[in-house]
């Protein structure tokens, strides 16, 4: 949580920030193209925002297999 001038902003977890930074570094080093990095970032952000219980259950089932 970040507070600036009385406005509170919730920051993403450190793991997510590192993921975005890593994608940016890969795109800057031209290992992947910028549109691909943006697409992965948007998909990751959308998955984080939805927190679907069905997807979590699927992930847990795949971990057990």
pLDDT in tens, 1-35: 666 777 777 777 788 889 999 999 999 999 999 99
- How many structural domains are present in the chain? 1
37 within a domain of the structure (yes/no): yes
47 within a domain of the structure (yes/no): yes
Could you list the residue range(s) of the whole structural domain that residue 48 is in? 14-64
5 within a domain of the structure (yes/no): no
Least confident of 22-31, 39-48, 53-62: 53-62
**Closest C-alpha to 23, from 8, 5, 12, 36:** 36
Contact 14, 39 (CB under 8 A): no
What integer pLDDT is reported at residue 23 of this predicted model? 94
22 within a domain of the structure (yes/no): yes
pLDDT in tens, 30-40: 999 999 999 99
What integer pLDDT is reported at residue 37 of this predicted model? 94
4 within a domain of the structure (yes/no): no
What integer pLDDT is reported at residue 39 of this predicted model? 93
């Amino acid at each position: 949580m970040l507070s600036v001038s009385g406005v509170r902003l919730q920051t993403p977890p450190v793991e997510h920030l590192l993921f975005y930074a890593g994608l940016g570094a890969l795109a800057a080093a031209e290992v992947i193209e910028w549109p691909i990095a943006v697409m992965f970032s948007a998909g990751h952000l959308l998955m984080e925002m939805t927190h679907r219980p069905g997807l979590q259950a699927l992930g847990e089932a795949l971990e057990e297999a």
